[in-house]
Structure 1
Amino acid sequence: MTISAPRLRIAMQKSGRLSDDTQALLKRCGLKLNVTDRRLLAHVSNLPIDIMRVRSSDIPGLVMDGVCDLGIVGDNTLEEEELSRALIGSKNDYIKTTPLNFGECRFSIAMPEEFEYTGLACLDGLRFATTYPQLLKRFAKENGINVEFCLLKGSVEVAPRVGLADGICDLVSTGATLEANGLKEVAEVFRSKASLIQRAEPLGDEKQDILNTLLPRIQGVMKAKESKYIMLHAPKDKISEVSALMPGKETPTILPLAGREDLVAVHVVATETFFWETMEKLKALGCNSILVMPIEKMMG
């Protein structure tokens, strides 16, 4: 009987705001996967990896219980599950392997527009509709206020209008949904991004080898997304001033230009924002052909 080689199993959101970003990340890491709406398990054809597509709220538990080796999930969902499991004494161990640079949002308290907000103390004793009661309870305790909550899995914004709650505590991205429902954001409870998490138990040598291949790729994609490649021609006698204007900690690469004794080519990877004002200062120093380009992949 042939024994199949172990395959790394990753849980991701089936549909929603993190699903597209997660698929894009995995594809940029070189994973060849065929995801269809009806299939909950997708196989990567060029690496021994399986992708399990589930509800966001199920991802932390699948990793904590060891059903999946890795999960990509929002920090808000992760912390809510960790707090809920701690409350009942259930297993809630995991390893946060890598913070990811997508899925950013905030978990905030919002009140009807006519509500006069004067500080957290004025929320004491009020009732809030929320999908994340444990995060709300922790925030209230840390700030010395008492709140009640009603648990809703969707349409949280409508709760004040129908008299179910005084306000809501929910995820906010742009604030457009709050405005459309006559609500205003008054206090931020928690700021969230997506994270790659790993089960607490050892993976075993074969799965660890797969992760050792995948993780540098993920980190390289994250770093590349935050970086820019800058190229320009600079006067040879202005190199010190030009280098001082370059963002980030990388040392610029200086290259000779064919047929020019007065100019050199300057290349640098910038991990900080490269502003128009910086380009204008470089131009004033005599630089030209200034190019700022995105980076697709990085390693090392």
Structure 2
Amino acid sequence: YPNTVNHFLKLNKVSADLHVINGSVEIAPNIGLADAICDIVSSGSTLFKNGLKEIETLLKSEAVLAVSPKISNESKTLLDTLQFRIQAVLKGQNSKYVLLNAPNAKLNTIISLLPGMKSPTVLPLAKEGWSSVHSVINGNEFWEVIDALKAAGAQGILVCPIEKMVV
């Protein structure tokens, strides 16, 4: 990372002393350790919280998993396990667990709006004529599905994040 910063500074003819700091580098300007910082950020919210603003992007990057075509069977098994776990986390991040109350008279309509993993879970409530419906909604369709559920008579809709999703 310091090499990337030094290369950027040299390319842009900027003379600066580079000091490597580990941890919360965003506080360095506020406590007099630096006039500016170069940091790896995803959202920039920590910069904003410390009164800083982004003025230049040095590099856009992403993590990737690459494999050699000459991988051994033992390593391939380990790689498959790692890939499965990564996919479970990513799938969970883009999904929401939804619980709602539905009048039994409108249950079929409400269930038809919920894709679920196989199908929604429906449990009777203590209040006669009502059921609790549990399902998973894709994050990309979330608001459209929620609006349709409300219009169909769903009430008390609770939405929970999903940490991991094994399918």
On the 8 A contact 2:123/2:133 being kept in 1, the answer is no
Q: What is the aligned residue count?
A: 151
2:119 aligned to which of 253, 274, 277: 253
Deviations 1:118-175 (A, max 9, x none): xxxxxxxxxxxxx6234x369x6xxxxx4335462425866xx89x9xx746115421
Q: How does 1:257-296 map to 2 (within 5 A)?
A: 266-272=133-139, 274=142, 282-296=149-163
Deviations 1:55-104 (A, max 9, x none): xxxxxxxxxxxxxxxxxxxxxx5xx8xxx7xxxxxxxxxxxxxxxxxxxx
SS at match of 2:81: helix
Gaps of at least 5 residues in structure 1 are 1-76, 85-130, 141-145
Question: What is the rounded CA distance, in whole Å, between the counterparts of 1:290 and 1:210 in structure 2?
Answer: 40
Question: What is the rounded CA distance, in whole Å, between the counterparts of 2:18 and 2:49 in structure 1?
Answer: 16
Q: How does 1:123-138 map to 2 (within 5 A)?
A: 132-134=5-7, 136=8
How far did 1:250 drift?
5.7
SS at match of 1:297: coil
Q: Structure 1 residues 298 and 237 mapped into 2: Cα distance closer, same or farther (>3 Å)?
A: closer
Correspondence for 2:83: 215
- RMSD value over aligned CA atoms? 4.7
Correspondence for 1:299: 166
On the 8 A contact 1:133/1:149 being kept in 2, the answer is no
1:175 to 2:16 alignment: no
Instruction: Name the % identity.
Output: 29
Correspondence for 1:148: 14
1:185 to 2:61 alignment: no
Q: Structure 1 residues 254 and 219 mapped into 2: Cα distance closer, same or farther (>3 Å)?
A: closer
Q: When the two structures are superposed, what TM-score results if normalisation uses the length of structure 2?
A: 0.56
Q: Counting strand residues as a fraction of each chain, which structure ranks higher?
A: 1
On the 8 A contact 1:233/1:288 being kept in 2, the answer is yes
Question: What is the rounded CA distance, in whole Å, between the counterparts of 1:227 and 1:292 in structure 2?
Answer: 10
Q: Counting helix residues as a fraction of each chain, which structure ranks higher?
A: 2
